[in-house]
């Protein structure tokens, strides 16, 4: 629930600042909500290599996004092409948020949980990176 509240707060601030700064300073404020992106720390943590092919089956486009996808979204919002876009959060997740959560077998959830916990406990610093 914390994660959803955090995103809701960021969306709210984005809209509020867009209204205030757009009116007062002629500035645009937008956000980007990335989905699972290949090669990022969050994706490495939540989608271990051992589970990647299985997880991609649940993605609407059957693949993870790339850093390039996020960069192009930011470029669009910063360019003249997006000059009339203000106060929005651009979702760049390949349509994942549109899809209903698909059934994930209980055994797959257990396996993923064990992998994440193992990686957390064997972190280089000796300090767990996650409580999962």
Which domains are present in the chain?
2-121 (3.40.50.720)
> Stretch 49-53: mean pLDDT, rounded?
67
What pLDDT score does 132 carry? Answer: 46
First to last CA, the chain: 15
Taking Cα atoms as reference points, which of 18, 39, 49 lies closest to residue 118?
Answer: 49
Interior angle at CA 125, CA 3 and CA 47, nearest 5: 45
Alpha helices (H) along 33-105: 41-46, 52-56, 67-78
Q: Is the dihedral of CA 102, 33, 90, 75 positive or negative?
A: negative
Whole-number percent of the chain with pLDDT over 90: 39
Mean pLDDT of the residues in the chain: 82
54-98: pLDDT as tens digits: 666 777 788 889 999 999 999 999 999 999 999 999 999 988 888
SS3 category, 124: coil
pTM above 0.85, yes or no: no
């Amino acid at each position: 629930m914390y994660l959803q509240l955090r995103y809701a707060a960021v969306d709210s601030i984005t809209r509020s600042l867009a209204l205030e700064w757009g009116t007062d300073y002629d500035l645009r404020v937008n956000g980007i909500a990335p989905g699972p992106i290949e090669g990022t720390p969050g994706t490495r943590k939540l989608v271990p290599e051992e589970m990647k092919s299985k997880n991609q089956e649940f993605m609407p486009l059957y693949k993870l996004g790339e850093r390039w996808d996020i960069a192009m979204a930011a470029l669009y919002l910063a360019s003249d092409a997006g000059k009339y876009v203000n106060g929005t959060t651009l979702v760049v997740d390949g349509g994942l948020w549109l899809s209903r959560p698909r059934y994930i077998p209980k055994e797959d959830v257990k396996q993923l949980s064990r992998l994440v916990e193992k990686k957390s406990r064997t972190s280089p610093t000796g300090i767990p990176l996650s409580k999962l």
